[in-house]
Amino acid sequence: MKKSISILLALALLFSCMLFSLAEDTLSPKYVFMFIGDGMGSPQISATEYYLGTMENPDATMPTAGKLSFTDFENIGIMTTYDATSFCPDSASTATSMASGEKTISGVLNYNVDKTESFKLITEYAKEAGKKIGVVSSVSVDHATPAAYYAKATSRNLNYEIALQAVTGTTLDFLGGGSFLKPNGTGDQENIIAIAEKNGFVLANTNEAILSLNSESGRTVANVPDTADSSSMQYEIDRVAKEAAGEESISLAKMTQAAINTLVNEEGFFLMVEGGKIDWSCHANDATTSIYETLAFSDAVQVAIDFAQQHPDETLIIVTGDHETGGLTIGFATTAYNTHLDYLSNQTMSYVAFNAVIKSLRSEKATFESALSHIEEAFGLTTTSDQALTLTAAELESLKSAFELSMTEADARVLGDKEALLYGGYEPLSMAVCHILNNKAGIAYTSYSHTGLQIPVYAQGIGAEKFNGSYDNTDIFTKTMDIMGLSK
């Protein structure tokens, strides 16, 4: 090879490297999706994939895993989630870390540890850069995780103040999910929805209105009409049952689609979507319900994946959890190496729906036998002998104790350490039933609170490779800012 050609080749290589690195530095995603499965760690993901595989392959002779929509994303990381209070952190502080890149104490939203200074949010930077901002949650829209993406509050419990920030001088273009927890504040404060409408927000609070939202709709508050406990959307297991009975009920996936339909524009958007009831069901040690919630969350991510396929080279999707909840494990002391995840499919309603059944039983002073027939109907646990879910004498005894407590009015119950361990402050009979079904299926929990497990991060699209590796939850902010070309 002649010398001159060699030099040219070298120059060309240098030039192409420069071009390549320039392209890498400047290519930033127009559409950014941040999905947070509240309480979703590897245990929730593993349990759901294995349940899915089990149910989809009833004739399989060996264990088969199913796949959630996001676990095949090309880039995976693992992050630490502890906050300034504990290794077992809170949703407010962990969402703060991801939204603003700073650690704070449990219960605080985007304020420092001393509660004297507030942090600037990624949604504020993104808004300044011209993007539309959306926040979606399956729980109330002013709950800790959604709130962290639009509000600053020294306590997550300041729901009216948080809601005010959602609709006044806000970054938000779309806020969807359940409704507001305290729309009237102390009762005599101006209604949040009224303020929102005064400030130019459209209220979509029917299924039809939500499903017909589009890019001409303008700034939108979307509240599902059929809210459940604490102003949240229905538990997926109950929502599916409603739909099976012919009633429409908006899923997290449909709400995510509504957000996209509303937000899509030439400057792009930043959309945070929370699967908030994975956490709630794991707090309550209701494994089946948490699996349904994880599936609903996965379906919502699929909506973003479908959108990304329409917008290749313009989209980044990040999927993670804020912390693990409940200390869920696939495996239990007495079932050892055996699992029977298919047993969970006998459960037909969430623990919250079953709490309502228990309430009726209490008001009608039902017998234990009557309760057992309701338990069989809702969870498959039976006194008929030689069935897969036949209750043992010890299980019947534990159900009896829980039944007696549950038949006492809540304020008349005597609850000690033993009951704290057995029921964690929940309706005793619901907990006893969930624990028995879980354990028979080979599932167990250690806690009714959040745990300190490090959490996987799945990322796909523009800049996603930055999410490979091990880091802290504050780096979710830093990396996303970096990829979006934003700086503090």
409-428 binders of a second copy (CB under 8 A): 417-418, 420-421, 424
15 in contact with a second copy (CB under 8 A): yes
**Complex with a second copy: residue 146 or 327, whichever CB lies closer:** 327
Footprint of a second copy on residues 460-479 (CB under 8 A)?
Answer: 468-470, 472
Tell me the CA distances in angstroms from 333 to 42, 329, 387, 418, one per residue in order. Answer: 20, 11, 21, 19
Spatial contact of 456 and 476, defined as CB atoms under 8 Å apart? no
Question: DSSP for 275-313?
Answer: ETHHHHHHHTT-HHHHHHHHHHHHHHHHHHHHHHHHSTT
User: Cα separation of 106 and 204, whole Å?
Assistant: 33
Contact indicator for 43, 281 with CB cutoff of 8 Å: no
Q: Which of 32, 172, 341, 405 binds a second copy (CB under 8 A)?
A: 341
Number of shown-chain residues binding a second copy (CB under 8 A): 78
**Rounded to the nearest 5 degrees, what angle is found at the Cα of 29, between the Cα atoms of 258 and 211?**
5
Q: Which of 21, 338, 370, 387 binds a second copy (CB under 8 A)?
A: 338
83 binding a second copy? (CB under 8 A): yes
b or e along 189-228 (b: 16 or more beta carbons within 10 Å of the residue's beta carbon)? eeebbebbeeeebbebeebebbbebeeebebbbbbbeebb
Spatial contact of 46 and 329, defined as CB atoms under 8 Å apart: no
Toward a second copy, which CB reaches closer, 379 or 458? 458
Give counts: helices (H), strands (E), the chain. 18, 14
Please report whether residue 331 would count as binding a second copy according to CB under 8 A.
yes
Q: In the complex, what is the shortest distance from the CB of residue 397 to a second copy, in angstroms, rounded to a whole number?
A: 11
Whole-angstrom Cα distance, residue 397 to residue 395?
5
> With CB under 8 A as the contact rule, which of the stretches 62-70, 120-128, 221-229, 293-301 interacts with a second copy?
62-70
Binding to a second copy by CB under 8 A, coded x per residue (else -) over 281-320, reads ----------------------------------------
Q: In whole angstroms, how close is the CB of 323 to a second copy at the nearest point? A: 9
Considering the rule CB under 8 A, would residue 84 count as an interface residue with a second copy?
A: yes
Contact segment (CB under 8 A) with a second copy among 27-35, 58-66, 136-144, 166-174 equals 58-66
Q: Of the listed pieces 121-129, 205-213, 349-357, 437-445, which binds a second copy according to CB under 8 A?
A: 437-445
Among 307, 403, 448, 477, binds a second copy (CB under 8 A): 448
Two structure tokens written together for 222:
């979307």
Q: Which is nearer to a second copy, 382 or 447 (CB)?
A: 447
- Shortest distance, position 125 Cβ to a second copy, whole Å: 26
CB of 219 or CB of 435, closer to a second copy: 435
Choices 74-82, 177-185, 191-199, 273-281 (CB under 8 A): range interacting with a second copy = 74-82
442 binds a second copy, rule: CB under 8 A: yes
d(CA 181, CA 177): 12
Beta carbon of residue 409, minimum distance to a second copy (angstroms, whole number) = 24
Whether residue 451 contacts residue 88, with contact meaning beta carbons closer than 8 Å, is answered with yes
Binding-residue pattern over the window 111 to 150 for a second copy, x denoting contact by CB under 8 A: --x-------------------------------------
Max CA pair span of the chain: 98
* Shortest separation between residue 88's beta carbon and a second copy, angstroms: 5
Tell me the DSSP string of 357-411.
HHHHHHHTT--HHHHHHHHHHHH--BSSTTSTTBPPHHHHHHHHHHHHHHHS-GG
What does R_g of the chain's alpha carbons equal in angstroms? 24
Q: Which stretch binds a second copy (CB under 8 A): 68-76, 188-196, 357-365, 401-409?
A: 68-76
**Per CB under 8 A, 85 contacts a second copy:** yes
Segment 364-393, which members bind a second copy (CB under 8 A)? 392
Supply φ then ψ for residue 56, to 5 degrees.
-80, -15
403 backbone dihedrals φ, ψ, rounded to 5°: -60, -45
Residues in 18-47 at the binding interface with a second copy, rule: CB under 8 A: 41-43, 45-47
Q: Which of 24, 56, 74, 117 binds a second copy (CB under 8 A)?
A: 74
Pick from 243, 427, 263: nearest CA to 353: 427
